[in-house]
A and B are shown apart, each in its own frame.
Chain A
Amino acid sequence: MEYILQPWPWFVSGPLITLVMLILVFFGKTFGMSSNLRTLCSIGGAGKYVDFFRFDWQAQKWNLTVVLGAFIGGFIAVQFLSDGSIIALNPETVSDLNTLGFVNVGATLLPAEIYDWDSILTIKGFSILVVAGFLVGFGTRYAGGCTSGHAITGLSNLQLPSFIAVIGFFVGGLLMTHFLLPLIFRQ
């Protein structure tokens, strides 16, 4: 039980993610979380305006069920399976973030500086989350997949398009982390 309550090492977590993908493949489905955003748009009536959202979303109910499960899984993991350990980040990462004005780095899963309602109820804080979410939603559909669809499933299936997409993920991620975050959080 002690091992379950502690954070899990990468060599346990990685193969378990493979298992998730394989179970879905076994049931004739594919592991792709971002498709649900399109499905939700469709359910919300986006098909009335754009034919991209005119499809039989009923066939995607299984994937929405995975989403519901993931939500419940998140709840279970923090409520019953965590010992409140601080994330064991590289001390350099912590000091880099301190320089950008982040405090209590790693004490929670997400930084209060971005995700606390106090931060969001400022124009800057609100814009950060709206822009971030927008880029994720727009980019993932443009690229035809996200981390699960391209980085895990596509690379496992040796798909060149997924390899190109993952290079893109890194180009964007490196630009944001090395150049834009220091501007956004400039002291």
Chain B
Amino acid sequence: MKFLKFLIVGIFFGIVLVKSEAVSWYRIFEMFKFQSFHMYGIIGSAVFFGILFLWIFRKFKVKNSKGTAINLQLKEKSFTRYILGGTIFGLGWALAGACPGPMYILLGTGITSMLLVIASALLGTFIYGLLRKRLPH
């Protein structure tokens, strides 16, 4: 039962991303071509309401389900890893047309070839772990 709420959140997330067409390779291509507002509208409005509600949560000291203050983990300060890692991710995102959430969602829509992308993403993650200490962060 403890996990049921997460299952439901996941199902909801999957439905929203399919219905918004954010899982579509074509929409990602169109976004990077600056030929439609659609994806910018989705990400922009999600971030706008995210900023607004996180601010409200803090302002009114809203507590989470465990009764403690809402506290998002801060990302460690750096420049190199974010710009390099981000660029590598972006290259893959525009080629696959799918990022780590949509990969599973698209598999669920019946696109079995997504298994190859997921397996390759796991390999990429593993190789990152292997080389981590030698990469500039």
Contact = CB atoms under 8 A, between A and B. Distances in A.
Contact of A38 (B112, B113, B125): B125
Contact of A11 (B14, B41, B77): B41
A23 to B, nearest CB: 5
A110 B24 contact: yes
The A interface is mostly helix, strand or loop, or mixed, namely: helix
Given A41-B126, A70-B108, A77-B15, A25 B72 contact: yes
Q: Is the interface of B mostly helix, strand, loop or mixed?
A: helix
Contacts of A154: 75
B105 A70 contact: yes
A6 to B, nearest CB: 9
B18 A168 contact: no
Interface in B1-40: 3, 5-33, 35-40
Interface in A34-62: 34, 36-38, 40-41, 44, 46, 49-50, 52-53, 61-62
Interface residues of B, number: 113
B25 A109 contact: yes
Interface string A93-108: 1001100000001100
A175 to B, nearest CB: 6
Given A33-B101, A97-B26, A131-B95, A14 B81 contact: no
A131 B94 CA distance: 12
B123 A69 contact: no
B86 to A, nearest CB: 2
B19 to A, nearest CB: 4
A96 to B, nearest CB: 7
Given A36-B100, A144-B85, A78 B18 contact: yes
Q: How big is chain A's contact interface, by range?
A: 35 or more
Given A27-B65, A68-B10, A139-B92, A13 B83 contact: no
Contacts of B21: 7, 87, 109
Contacts of B98: 136
A161 interface: yes
A71 B14 contact: yes
B86 A73 contact: no
Contacts of A142: 81, 84-85, 88-89, 128, 135
A84 interface: no
Interface string B100-124: 1101111111111110111111111
A109 B3 contact: no
Contacts of A97: 26, 29
A78 B14 CA distance: 10
B119 A15 contact: no
22 contacts: A16-B16, A17-B17, A21-B50, A36-B100, A74-B107, A78-B18, A97-B26, A110-B25, A132-B96, A133-B96, A137-B121, A137-B122, A137-B124, A137-B128, A138-B127, A143-B81, A146-B99, A154-B75, A156-B54, A168-B84, A170-B32, A172-B90
Query: Which 10 residue pairs are nearest across A and B when measured between Cβ atoms?
Result: A69-B10, A168-B86, A73-B14, A172-B90, A156-B50, A137-B124, A133-B120, A143-B85, A74-B108, A135-B92
